[in-house]
Amino acid sequence: MNLLFIVNPTAGSGKNSAINSIELIKDFCVSKDLNYKIEKTRYKGHATLLARQAVTSQAKYDAVISVGGDGTLLEVANGLMGSELLLGILPAGTGNDFARSIGIPSNVKEALSSLSKSKSRLIDVGKLGNLFFVNVASIGFDAEIIRDIFKFRRFIPGKASYYIAALVKFFTFKFKDIAINMDGQKMDSKILLVAIANGTHYGGGMKVNPNGNLGDGYLDVIVVSSLPRYKIPLLMHKFIKGTYQDLPYVSTYRCKDVSIYSQDALVINADGDIFGTTPAKFTVKPLALNIIAN
C-alpha cells in the first residue's frame, strides 16, 4: 500500500498535534511495511493542491491521509473530489468533529492502527458554490464565533480562544432575519443559527445532527429560532448531547438543496472555516467521496 500523508504542522496542540504525529506515522508505516510520503502544508489551500497532485502523481497512491483538523480535511477532500483515491483521516486538530462522525479514534496512534483495519465507504458531500464540505456548514451564532476565533488566536492559543469568543458573542450577538428555501419550500425566520449538516458533530463535539446519515443523499437542516438570551447556556447541554428535539425553538428538515437570503451579509462557516457571506446556496452531491471509516 502506498500512502500520502498531508500534515498541517500548525494543527492541534500537545502530544496529539499534527506535528507531533509525524514520528508516529513513520513508525507505523515502517512496522506495517508500507510505502509512504509525508508532505507538510505551508499556506492556506496548500493541502488542496497537494491532494490534486496526488491524484495524477506517478507514485500511484492508494490513499491520501489528512493529518490535522476539520479545516485540513476540508482542503484535502476538495483536492480529491472527482477522483477514486481513498481519503483517510488522522484527527490531529482542535475539533476533529468529522472523525467522530465516522468512528475514528481521537488518539492519533489508535487512529493509525484503525487505518489498516477499517473499510472504505462512499459518502455524500455538501456543496457551497465551488467549495465542497464533508461535515457541517452554518450561519449565525456559531459562524460568528468561528470568525472571531481567528482574532483571539493571535493572543490566546488552543481551545481557550473558542471559549473566549463564545463568551463575547453570547453578550453581543444579534438575532438574524433570514429567508430560507428548502427544495422549493420557503420560510422566513429570526434565527440564532442554521446548521446545514452532512455529518453528526460540530463545534468540538456537539451532536448537532444525531440522526445524520452520510449516505442518504440529503442534507439535514437544523434551524434554531431566536429565544430568550438567558436560555442559551441553560439549553447548551441538549445541543451537546443531541437531545434538543423537544425544544420549541428548534426545527429540523431534510432536503437536497437549501438557499439562505438575508438583508445583511451573514458569514458562512463550512467545516470550521469561514467561506464568504450570504446569500448562499447549499446542495448535496451523493456518494461522491471515498473515505476510510469504521
**Could you report the per-residue pLDDT of 148-175, keeping only the tens digit for each?**
887 777 777 666 777 788 888 888 999 9
Q: Are residues 99 and 217 in the same domain?
A: no
Read off the pLDDT band of 231 (50, 70, 90): very high
Identify which of 214, 193, 77 has the alpha carbon closest to the alpha carbon of residue 141.
193
pLDDT recorded at residue 269: 93
- Contact in structure between 41 and 6 (CB atoms under 8 Å): yes
Tally Cβ neighbours within 10 Å of residue 246. 7
- Contact in structure between 93 and 11 (CB atoms under 8 Å): yes
Mean pLDDT, the chain, as a whole number?
Answer: 91
Q: Going by C-beta distance under 8 Å and a sequence separation of 6 or more, which residues neighbour residue 11?
A: 17, 18, 67, 68, 69, 71, 72, 92, 93, 94
Q: Which long-range contacts (CB under 8 A, 24 or more apart) does 49-53 make?
A: 49/79, 50/4, 50/6, 50/76, 50/79, 51/6, 51/75, 51/76, 51/77, 51/78, 51/79, 51/80, 52/79, 52/80
Q: Which domain holds residue 65?
A: 2-117
- Answer yes or no: is pLDDT of 217 > 90: yes
- Contact in structure between 35 and 2 (CB atoms under 8 Å): yes
Q: Are residues 98 and 156 in the same domain?
A: no
**Tens-digit pLDDT profile for residues 250-260:** 999 999 999 99
pLDDT recorded at residue 177: 96
Assessment of whether the complete model's pTM goes beyond 0.75: yes
pLDDT recorded at residue 157: 65
Q: Is residue 233 part of a domain?
A: yes
Q: Are residues 273 and 163 in the same domain?
A: yes
pLDDT recorded at residue 185: 94
Q: Are residues 196 and 156 in the same domain?
A: yes
What does the DSSP assignment read for 154-204? Answer: TTS-TTHHHHHHHHHHHHH---EEEEEEETTEEEEEEEEEEEEESSS-BTT
CATH number at residue 66: 3.40.50.10330
pLDDT recorded at residue 170: 87
- Contact in structure between 268 and 176 (CB atoms under 8 Å): no
Q: Is residue 124 part of a domain?
A: no
Q: Are residues 145 and 87 in the same domain?
A: no
CATH number at residue 270: 2.60.200.40
- Contact in structure between 216 and 209 (CB atoms under 8 Å): no
Q: Are residues 53 and 151 in the same domain?
A: no
**Tens-digit pLDDT profile for residues 60-109:** 999 999 999 899 999 999 999 999 899 999 998 877 889 988 888 888 88
